[in-house]
Amino acid sequence: MQRIGVFVCHCGSNIAATVDVKKVVEMVSHEPGVVHAEDYQYMCSEVGQAKIIEAIREKHLTGLVVCSCSPRMHETTFRKTAERAGLNPYMVEIANIREHCSWIHKNMEEATEKAVILARAAIAKVNLDAPLFPGESRVTKRALVIGGGIAGIQTALDIADAGYEVDIVEKTPSIGGRMSQLDKTFPTLDCSACILTPKMVEASANEKIHLYTYSEVEKVSGFVGDFTVDIRKKARSVDMSKCTGCGVCQEKCPSRKTPSEFNRGLNTRSAIYTPFAQAIPNVPVIDREACIKFKTGKCGLCQKVCQAGAIDYEQKDEIVTEKYGAIVVATGFDTIKLDKYDEYAYSQSKDVITSLELERIMNAAGPTKGHLERLSDGKHPKNMVFIQCVGSRCSDKRGKSYCSKICCMYTAKHAMLIRDKYPDVNVTVFYIDVRTPGKNFDEFYRRAVEDYGVNYIKGQVGKVMPQPNGQLLVQGVDLLDNKQILMEADMVVLATAIEPNADVRRIATMLTASIDTNNFLTEAHAKLRPVESPTAGVFLSGVCQGPKDIPETVAQAGAAAVKAIGLLAKDKLMTNPCTAKSDELLCNGCSQCANVCPYGAISYETKLINDHGIREDRRVAVVNSALCQGCGACTVTCPSGAMDLQGFANRQILAEVDAICR
Amino acid sequence: MQEMINRAKELLSDGTVNRVLGWRRGDMSYNPEPSYFETAEDLDANFVYNGFCGANLSKYMIEGSKLEGKTLVFLKPCDSYSFNQLIAEHRVDRDKAYIIGVGCMGKLSFEKIKEQGVKGITNITIDDANENITVETLYGEKTLAYKDCMLERCHVCKGKEHQIFDETIGESRDTKDADRFAEVEKIEAMSPEEKFAFFQNELSRCIRCNACRNVCPACSCRKCVFDSTKFDSAQKANVDSFEERMFHIIRAFHVAGRCTDCGECSRVCPQGIPLHLFNRKFIKDIDEFYGEFQAGVDPEAKSPLTSFTFNDVEPGVTGGRR
């Protein structure tokens, strides 16, 4: 029988205002095994912890139940407290009477009853706890960054700067990401390429950084400190070691009808292409779907004109397997599809464009060489309408519930740049709210309104109607004047909501990193661990975690790098002892547990088993505790109940259920 | 049958196999039982194969695999699925078995015969064409159509192809004349209260004899959770009807994705509980959620419940079935 001490925390008034803590102490003190019960205002404080240590020593406690906040907050704290008093840290159970009880209830009587029940469950579990001892695992001193946008580049640069090897895997032919598509950046209006290109060059020149462009992460196994990753290097059809980047192949390529991804499909590119002039590496790829040689077997022009002999039609995808200690996800974003917003006539008129398309139009390397013109007839627009929150802050299921965060600022930027360069253009912005928190952000927006005469109208646009004369009729509402507005426009720009890159689900699944309902990667703690994924060793950089502008992305990229460096700096990691264990006498050797194990931690051995006097060779499951992450998938799959999770044994969970149902 | 005996004797005498796993004449003509045969004399005198040989012999090969040398095992088409599933679970050793796939004309149910109002049965004979059976009773003879006396599982037969064999003997007959999931669909259409009442009624007859578990090829655990002292579920007294319900529901969960729908559970139930309905509901759900899957077709195939694909339904996330 255990000698259990129960410690009930008030958490100031967080718990005590809703739960009668004295009553909880009184009720649990009669539970089997409980020899000590007390309450205190802040159990996690030094005084609170001292009370626990004193009780362990004086009452010779063998197990603890702390009724407090979520174990995610303070389980580690109290385990360390127990350890300081000489108790095995895994003899501590937390009854979460804050998040699971006081915060969600109003009635004190009911909340108190529930707190007692939760404490009883934890007591029942401690009664069956056994001391556990962590093992050790090694750390591979190399990091992987998935995504080569500004977030990934910055993270890689920072990790490399600390002296660690780092690989960037980028699925497109060049690093640079979304930022490379932007024309100018707010709030200082620097040219995006001018500030990004040096970083791209730095990343490619840094000998600690290895770039895998036109590559994708195919498979991830292992765990914190020791991930094994398969990277698929898609066939470029161009030998990177031979290509000089002269560009002749692209000039001569006769297949020129593929929409340019980089220019958001506003113009076309050749089948052999580098996405943009500053691309790194400056080595083209052949788009095999578009290439005439691959489609019909006839052509081969690029091979003929290539002086370096770099074109290789036979090249095949290559799988590279590499080991990493840490993985940083920096998969970025895309704009949402607008097929559910047909009221804005995006699909009906070439002159209704997204803001990202406007970036390309404004850019000197874009489809119009930087001239503001209508894509339908090339005419210079006189009236432009910007519509904010297209798909953002959406209460119905068409769009996103969140604010995309960057649109207010880039629209102010677009409006200002247009008014500055083309003072004859009238610019109107329809908005729900203008949100410009951030250093020098509101001043920036005020300049657009006050110095540049941009016409801001609070209200939404209901419909954009293309007219036979090529004009766009915009029907909106001015909420401040309380009147309907019907205005003509030459171009309409939609501040389209952003969403995580479509690949993120696949990548999150591979990494067993959790994602929220909007497909943003979840942080380990929304406030206190914002750059870590709940999966150990996986860190988050940039918009994959939530909407962000460039300064925020760069800041988070650095923070993710620091967390990764902190991990890589360690030689060994303590492993979680709450791992699965197989009872050889019960194991059927049926392999079902191995089939479901996401970590490849289960293997089989044929062993001589002495089953109560019957000696025979049996095929039995063996768990590699260094690989096991304690997910428990095997324990629920095992039909004979041979597989069990240490620290969360089936019996313990049933004992908790029994205690709750008592 | 004679062909099977002759071939078995050959394989015994040339040393290919050390023993034969087949069906032995029982006390009555309608209850042959699974048995080993080690001599030609025993085979001649006692081996039997007819419409009453419903027993699935694949599970006996778990122990058979541990014996010296090879065992000749006769498997009906539906038994061969179970054997493959046991290979997938590493419970039988393929190399220890010499498999003769035997033909099947559909198997008979003693219960079905009694249901037709026949009492005082003393003997049953089957005609050569397997068209009719003659029941001798204390009150005279009665002839019944073979088809009317078949097990439920034969009316929804998975087909007469053997999934695994070294050689085959004998003819088969297509017996499928009903939809496999019709019964399940009928229950699915019930209201929750009706479903509860239906199963309450069926399972209330359970006497916990464990016959369903003991015969089930998927219930092949070395130590069943219901027998192990490690779990609180072990051999609890039947304090209330809840206990039987849980036994059968837990059993259905344990065999989900592995059950080949061989129907042995229902065949052996002395209380006539249609236990196969639980398993078939799981099979139907698996088919609907993850695409059609038949356990035991391919021992290398991944079971949908123990494998993951990106297209898997996520009922919890989408809030619906699809």
| Residue A23 belongs to domain with CATH number | 3.40.50
Decide if A620 is inside a domain: yes
Selected for mutation to probe chain B from A509, A592, A636 (highest B CB count within 10 Å) is A592
Question: Are the C-beta atoms of residues A496 and A336 closer than 8 Å to each other?
Answer: yes
> Minimal Cα–Cα distance from A641 to chain B, Å?
7
**Which residue among A506, A509, A640 sits closest to B222, beta carbon to beta carbon?**
A640
Determine the average pLDDT of the residues in B124-138.
Answer: 90
Statement: residue B235 has pLDDT above 80: no
Q: What is the mean pLDDT of chain B?
A: 90
- End position of a domain, from candidates A483, A499, A515: A499
Decide if A655 is inside a domain: no
State the total domains in chain A: 5
**Which residue among A506, A591, A650 sits closest to B310, beta carbon to beta carbon?**
A506
Quote the pLDDT of residue A347.
Answer: 95
Determine the average pLDDT of the residues in B209-217.
Answer: 94
CA Rg value for chain B: 21
> Minimal Cα–Cα distance from A31 to chain B, Å?
20
For chain B, list residues whose CB is within 8 angstroms of any CB belonging to chain A. Answer: 66, 88-91, 220-225, 228, 230-232, 254-255, 302-303, 306-308, 310
> Minimal Cα–Cα distance from A596 to chain B, Å?
5
> Residues of B with CB below 8 A from A631's CB?
none
Statement: residue B224 has pLDDT above 70: yes
> Residues of A with CB below 8 A from B255's CB?
639
* Cβ count within 10 A of residue A602: 22
* pLDDT band, very low/low/confident/very high, at B240 (cuts 50, 70, 90): low
Decide if A383 is inside a domain: yes
Quote the pLDDT of residue B70.
Answer: 95
In whole angstroms, give the CA distance from residue B96 to residue B67: 8
Closest CA to B179 of B155, B161, B160, B201: B155
Buried b (16+ CB within 10 A) or exposed e, A98-111: beebbbebeeeeeb
- End position of a domain, from candidates A522, A545, A568: A568
Determine the average pLDDT of the residues in B258-287.
Answer: 94
Across the interface, do A586 and B254 touch by the CB < 8 Å criterion?
no
Closest CA to A659 of A175, A27, A90: A27
In chain B, domain spans: 1-106+159-178, 110-149, 180-322
Q: Are residues A104 and A252 in the same domain?
A: no
Q: Are residues A436 and A458 in the same domain?
A: yes
Across the interface, do A588 and B89 touch by the CB < 8 Å criterion?
yes
**Secondary structure of residue A164 in the 3-state scheme:** coil
Across the interface, do A641 and B228 touch by the CB < 8 Å criterion?
yes
Quote the pLDDT of residue B234.
Answer: 60
Statement: residue B15 has pLDDT above 60: yes
* pLDDT band, very low/low/confident/very high, at B319 (cuts 50, 70, 90): very low
Question: Are the C-beta atoms of residues A290 and A219 closer than 8 Å to each other?
Answer: no
Closest CA to A358 of A225, A264, A465: A264
- Map tokens 């600022």 to a residue: A409
The HSE-up count of residue A381 (CA atoms within 13 Å, CB side) is 30
Q: Are residues A516 and A555 in the same domain?
A: yes
Closest CA to B219 of B193, B239, B248, B188: B248
Quote the pLDDT of residue B282.
Answer: 94
Residues B82, B83, B89, B91, CA torsion sign: positive
- End position of a domain, from candidates A450, A473, A499: A499
Across the interface, do A654 and B306 touch by the CB < 8 Å criterion?
no
Check residue A238 and report its DSSP letter: B
Measured in Å, how far apart are chain B's first and last C-alpha atoms?
A: 50
Selected for mutation to probe chain B from A397, A518, A588 (highest B CB count within 10 Å) is A588
Report the chain A residue with the minimal C-alpha distance to residue B310: A506
Buried b (16+ CB within 10 A) or exposed e, A258-294: bebebbbebeebbbbbbbbebbbbbbbbbbeebbebb
> Tens digit of pLDDT for each residue in B22-61?
999 998 889 999 999 999 999 999 999 999 999 999 999 9
> Minimal Cα–Cα distance from A655 to chain B, Å?
10
Instruction: Quickly list DSSP for A240-309.
Output: TTT-----HHHHH-S---EEPTTTTTSSEE-SEE-SSTT-SS---EE-TTT-HHHHHS---HHHHH-TT-
| Residue A586 belongs to domain with CATH number | 3.30.70.3270
* pLDDT band, very low/low/confident/very high, at B322 (cuts 50, 70, 90): very low
Q: Where are the alpha helices (DSSP H) in A599-649?
A: 633-637
Quote the pLDDT of residue B308.
Answer: 80
Which tokens go with B297?
A: 């077709």
> Tens digit of pLDDT for each residue in A484-495?
999 999 999 999
> Tens digit of pLDDT for each residue in B83-117?
999 999 999 999 999 999 999 999 999 999 998 88
Residue type for position A72? R
Decide if A662 is inside a domain: no
Q: Are residues A99 and A61 in the same domain?
A: yes
> Minimal Cα–Cα distance from A592 to chain B, Å?
7
Statement: residue B241 has pLDDT above 70: no
> Residues of B with CB below 8 A from A641's CB?
225, 228, 230-231
Which of the two residues, A187 and B243, has the higher pLDDT score? Answer: A187
Angle (CA) B198-B203-B209 rounded to 5° is 165
Report the chain B residue with the minimal C-alpha distance to residue A591: B89
A281 preceded by a cis bond (ω within 30 of 0): yes
Alpha-carbon B162 to chain mean position:
15
**Secondary structure of residue A658 in the 3-state scheme:** helix
Maximum distance among all alpha carbons in chain A? Answer: 97
- Give the residue numbers spanning the domain of A301: 248-305
Decide if A56 is inside a domain: yes
Across the interface, do A588 and B306 touch by the CB < 8 Å criterion?
no
Closest CA to A225 of A661, A572, A583, A579: A572
Q: Are residues A437 and A541 in the same domain?
A: no
**Which residue among B220, B228, B302 sits closest to A586, beta carbon to beta carbon?**
B228
Question: Are the C-beta atoms of residues A639 and B222 closer than 8 Å to each other?
Answer: no
pTM for the model stands at 0.73
Report the chain B residue with the minimal C-alpha distance to residue A636: B254
Size of interface A-B (CB pairs under 8 A): 60
In whole angstroms, give the CA distance from residue A194 to residue A187: 15
Any chain B CB within 8 A of the CB of A650? yes
Alpha-carbon separation of residue A647 from A91, A458, A601, A654, B55 (angstroms): 9, 57, 18, 13, 43
Which tokens go with A63?
A: 């197990």
> Residues of B with CB below 8 A from A639's CB?
221, 225, 254-255
Quote the pLDDT of residue B242.
Answer: 65
Q: Are residues A465 and A521 in the same domain?
A: no
**Which residue among A619, A641, A651 sits closest to B90, beta carbon to beta carbon?**
A619
Q: Are residues A291 and A342 in the same domain?
A: no
Quote the pLDDT of residue A304.
Answer: 95
> Minimal Cα–Cα distance from B178 to chain A, Å?
32
Overall residue count recorded for chain A in this entry? 662
Across the interface, do B66 and A611 touch by the CB < 8 Å criterion?
no
Question: Are the C-beta atoms of residues A196 and A150 closer than 8 Å to each other?
Answer: yes
Q: Are residues A23 and A62 in the same domain?
A: yes
Closest CA to A328 of A568, A529, A557, A572: A557
Closest CA to A532 of A22, A541, A109: A541
Q: Which residues contact B52 (CB under 8 A, 6 or more apart)?
A: B29, B30, B31, B32, B107, B108, B110, B124
Buried b (16+ CB within 10 A) or exposed e, A220-251: bbbbbbbbebebbbbbbbbeeeebeeeeebbe
| Residue A368 belongs to domain with CATH number | 3.50.50.60
> Residues of A with CB below 8 A from B303's CB?
592, 595
> Minimal Cα–Cα distance from B231 to chain A, Å?
7
Across the interface, do A650 and B231 touch by the CB < 8 Å criterion?
yes
Q: Are residues A475 and A340 in the same domain?
A: yes
Q: In what order do the strands lie in the sheet with A538-540?
A: A209-212, A165-169, A142-146, A326-329, A538-540
In whole angstroms, give the CA distance from residue A106 to residue A108: 6
Decide if A142 is inside a domain: no
* pLDDT band, very low/low/confident/very high, at B237 (cuts 50, 70, 90): very low
Q: In what order do the strands lie in the sheet with B140-145?
A: B121-126, B132-137, B140-145
- Write out residues in chain A with pLDDT < 70, as ranges: none
> Minimal Cα–Cα distance from B12 to chain A, Å?
27
